[in-house]
Structure 1
């Protein structure tokens, strides 16, 4: 203790309380600690499923089983809670930086994984696929499928519960809305587009300008990205089920890569239980193979995928079965296993091959992710993702080696393994948490809370709500005006859309959909003077009048009084 009565402990406490220097203080970032917070802490989250024959030596091989389970990217997870209702579809660009999700809340969310931080895990843009429609009633349709172009990633295809497919740019701007067919035409070959709801779509594996759609009008249509007024090809599937009048609903479609020594493969499933295959490059007037009873009749086959080599086809039917097919012997399934279906409630429940086709992934009604062996269709790993909420859509990105899942509670989950995965979720966790500003809207940011990054993200605040002890829960009005709007001048006020604005077509809609609409801004006198002959030029339209037009003959009056009297009598 010195003469002033301060001890060494007091001096150390004062040094920690008072800053030693001014300006921004740089703190070291512990990336390993941030990644460790995302480790899945659920007991038995990754359960290795072994065959019955290997139960005897299970104790001796326990260590090898754990090592074998590490080959799947399911040890860690990162949660995104950006939708209010079930997430029905997920897609990523080829680089793995742009994530797009679609939902039953009739919206599309765009996420930039390269710009996220652990405290700003949110979508940077929300897209309404029906904002360009004049009718407000069209806003009630859910999003069935979003598919990034596998060639460039500059645009993605959107399939909604309407008869028109749409192409959006990478930044969420509507580029093309394809033609709707005339529902009163009986011959489906003569319609310019689908006459009823489109259920599924797929990009051509090698041609960046072509994609295919399947609809409930019993047709499969091939489109060119640059031609929106009419499809390139129309394939009408004629059902052979009695009482169907040759019509059925197409439920799923996939366009696979070319097998060795062959062409690409186009496979579609129908509500009558049939599975149809065509040559991807045509001709399409006759199927290359058809199985009438692939799945039970009147059950929705929602999952359909083709392996990377174009030889195997995997289907997940509404009859609670998963079946594997060989395109070279397209008659009977290679293997069949029982798997509860969720397609009756969620028609977009899918099943996918892994990037190298060494595994098959799909979700379940209990919220578990199933990783299957494609040879036996037996589960290799079963791990809970959203227990109690059905797991609807799955996607395994080849470059990131990460699995993306969407569930019925509106949650998007990124499963990864730090040792075998690259970028994606790891790119987010390698950044320092962004500090919250007092003027930030707490509803648009998240706290640096380990529970917000790992499995227990949904706290006492409800689905997607803040936890009871979070900053947003304790200060819900910071940065807001009395009316609930943000005080931040960087966020301009967006005017409310009135009912009159919703029903009034904009200039772009009139210019693209109404023929000769540009003539309304043209001066009629100038339009007629365009056809006036120049000096020395032959008259095109009135030249004959100069030769055969008779001369006008008027009656001659003797005096002006006689002319005036004639005019009075009239």
Structure 2
């Protein structure tokens, strides 16, 4: 029986009919497909190709030597030695460069500094050392080394001071450039001082409050170059507005006035809630549901959108919930050093909402932990400001480590919460007249901004910028010829809003760095709105009415208005004026108003103007006596007969009345 050739693919042989004894002979006579097959040359070099034991085992079992290319093998020890060698060479180069730079100070001659050309021990130490070595006692021996070289140490110090001054000047220039003040826009709120300014987190709307009891809402996307507010309202009746603040979501705004009840409005100015008023005849403030005296300030929680804080003259701080306005959420009592009550004039949350800070009228700063009971203070500092002067503002930095306070004692102080015993610096000679004058940090915490009220000798109010690291004044802006009360640097818009004492709101922005906000309004041209003088009445549709009662549908409102204008009834044309002379309705009836009234209203018959009215009446006397119609028939039965006196009776009565003269 003739056997067929076996078919193989590469090095895999497939033949079911072949015996294992015939395998050696079949391999020699088998056909191949390309490079996958095996030939006689491959048989001679088979032992050389599969020297590896693992490859031989695979070949004996599977019939092929491996699964393609093998992965590259890495020698870890060799790589580590190469890396250490290159690091040592680079370290040597860096060390040589540093020694070249330090040659004027003769650091290479210092025995305490190891040189790169020392013994093998130093080389072994250099391998473990990372970076150039730090010289020992450099500050103490620096003057001696410079004296050896003939260099005056004082001159070197002056050179170092000059270089530091140059660095500070460069920093001040950078800070000045970061202030958005290349352009300014003025918005008119009213004629009274603007005591509160608030912008929503998105920067779409602005709200301003004044001591004229009004709140104005400004929409930057809807305003044009005229910069007119879209809504004005008086939510707290006859109480000045002290503070405004949008919530973290921007959907509601907190209104704090001089009344004892705070209000929450929505974005359009409609009232959402009003806090309850407490019982002023109860001495224990914990027993009352709300404040019993006028408010001083308020703010929203930075993380929880339903919670807000208010402080009042009743010496308490109260936390409120939007869902429960009829009762405060928590109560905090402020105490002076002698244990008596003291009124908080300003309050604020820190950026995380864990701390509640209050500035009191006795000049103390008191802080409570929001996560604990409000029984004892977490941080307390007596005498932070002058006793009796109101602390008008408390502001935390964006990082949360610094705190700035503004007071009516003409000072602004910068504090570090981690070392709260003494202020970092005190900025003095800042005149403050209004108890709502505030301060705030820049969005990068590099500057501190506050406004200065106008003094008697000064001509304008200023906006001042201070560096928080060097405590120097970076820049100042002369805002207007009035007080500067409120300042707001919006971090998203990069624009500064300033509330002034003359009722104006100044907006400062940069053409390149600022976004949206006032930039949207300036480019829009102001167009007058065409007002419609006549409002057309609504048409009543009666499709099933008869033709005689059916109203015709006007094709054009304009044509219908013109048609109604010519109709004296629909246009309600007034009567022609009454005047002397010819023309008008007087000419038809006579020359006087009485003749006109007589002809048209009094008599049905015409009466000539030249006729005597007495003669006209006596003309009907005979007829009235003969044929009575109105009066005589009514009294004919009951009226007595009249008796008239004659002339003779008159003469006798007169003679009798005269008496004779007696002597």
Pick closer, same or farther for the CA change 1:246–1:62 going to 2, 3 Å.
closer
- 1:375 is matched with which residue: 454, 469, 487? 469
- Residue in structure 2 matched with residue 125 of structure 1 by the alignment: 231
8 A Cα contact 1:147 1:202, kept in partner: yes
Of 257, 282, 301, which aligns to 2:351? Answer: 257
Whole-angstrom distance in 2 between the partners of 1:400 and 1:149: 17
Q: Secondary structure at the match of 1:69?
A: helix
Aligned-residue offset at 1:61: 10
Deviation by residue 1:237-273 (Cα, 9 ceiling, x = unmatched): 11125xxx71222110110123xxxx72111000011
Alignment correspondent of 1:236:
333
CA distance in 2, matches of 1:173, 1:77: 31
In structure 2, the CA distance between the partners of 1:56 and 1:275, relative to structure 1 (3 Å rule), is closer
Contact 1:335/1:376 (CA < 8 Å) preserved in 2?
A: no
Which residue in the other structure is 1:296 paired with? Answer: 386
Given the alignment of the two structures, is residue 435 of structure 1 paired with residue 523 of structure 2, yes or no?
no
- Cα shift readout 1:325-361 (whole Å, capped 9, x = no counterpart): 122222221221203231xx31111111122322111
Relative to structure 1, the CA distance from residue 83 to residue 247 in structure 2 (aligned partners, 3 Å threshold; closer, same or farther) is same
Q: Gaps (5+ residues) in structure 1?
A: 1-52, 131-138, 442-570
Do the aligned residues in 2 keep the contact of 1:392 with 1:405 (CA within 8 Å)?
A: yes
Deviation at 1:65, TM superposition (A): 6.4
CA distance in 2, matches of 1:391, 1:64: 27
Question: 1:87-486 alignment to 2 at 5 Å?
Answer: 87-118=194-225, 120-130=226-236, 139-150=237-248, 152-241=249-338, 246-258=340-352, 264-342=354-432, 345-366=433-454, 367-386=461-480, 388-431=481-524, 433-437=525-529
Contact 2:464/2:476 (<8 A) preserved: yes
Checking the alignment, whether the CA contact within 8 Å between 1:265 and 1:310 is kept in structure 2 is no
Aligned pairs (5 A) from 1:36-55: none
Show CA shifts across 1:428-473 (max 9, x none).
1233x123357599xxxxxxxxxxxxxxxxxxxxxxxxxxxxxxxx
Q: 1:346 to 1:55 in 2, by over 3 A?
A: farther
Q: Distance in 2 between matches of 1:202 and 1:311?
A: 20
Q: Distance in 1 between matches of 2:168 and 2:491?
A: 30
For 1:385, what is the secondary structure of its paired residue? strand
Structure 1: distance between partners of 2:503 and 2:416:
35
TM-score, normalised via structure 1 length? 0.61
- For the residue of structure 2 that corresponds to 1:362, the secondary structure is strand
2: CA distance between counterparts of 1:396 and 1:346? 20
With over 3 angstroms needed to count, the CA separation of the structure-2 counterparts of 1:65 and 1:323, relative to structure 1, is closer
Distance 1:62 1:341, change over 3 A: closer
Structure 1 residue 420: Cα displacement: 0.7
* Cα shift at 1:164: 0.5
How has the CA–CA distance of structure 1 residues 68 and 378 changed in structure 2, closer, same or farther, with 3 Å as cutoff? closer
Q: Which of 1 and 2 has greater Rg?
A: 2
Query: Conserved in 1, the CA contact under 8 Å of 2:412 and 2:430?
Result: no
Contact 1:322 1:339 in 2 (8 A): no
Aligned length: 367
SS of residue paired to 2:335: coil
Write the distance in 2 (CA, Å) between the matches of 1:305 and 1:440.
Answer: 51
Report the CA distance shift for 1:238/1:63 in structure 2 as closer, same or farther (over 3 A).
closer
Tell me if the contact between 1:255 and 1:280 (Cα under 8 Å) persists in the aligned partners. Answer: no
Find the counterpart in structure 2 of residue 558 from structure 1.
none
Q: Secondary structure at the match of 1:202?
A: strand
Compared CA separation, residues 222 and 77, structure 1 to 2 (3 A): same
Contact 1:317 1:341 in 2 (8 A): no
CA distance in 1, matches of 2:429, 2:254: 29
Offset, 1:235: 0.5
Indicate how the Cα distance of structure 1 residues 177 and 419 shifts in structure 2: closer, same or farther if over 3 A, else same: same
Q: Structure 1 residues 129 and 236 mapped into 2: Cα distance closer, same or farther (>3 Å)?
A: same
Deviation at 1:191, TM superposition (A): 0.9
Task: Please give the alpha-carbon distance, in whole angstroms, between the structure 2 residues aligned to 1:288 and 1:401.
Answer: 34
Instruction: Indicate if the aligned counterparts of 1:198 and 1:213 stay in contact, CA closer than 8 A.
Output: yes
In structure 1, C-alpha distance between the alignment counterparts of 2:369 and 2:468, rounded to whole Å? 24
Q: Is the 8 A contact 1:213 1:253 kept in 2?
A: yes
Which ranges of structure 2 fall in alignment gaps of 5 or more residues? 1-160, 455-460, 534-663
Quote the residue 1:497 is aligned against: none
Render the CA deviation track for 1:102-142: whole Å, top value 9, x for unaligned: 00111000000111111x31110001113xxxxxxxx3210
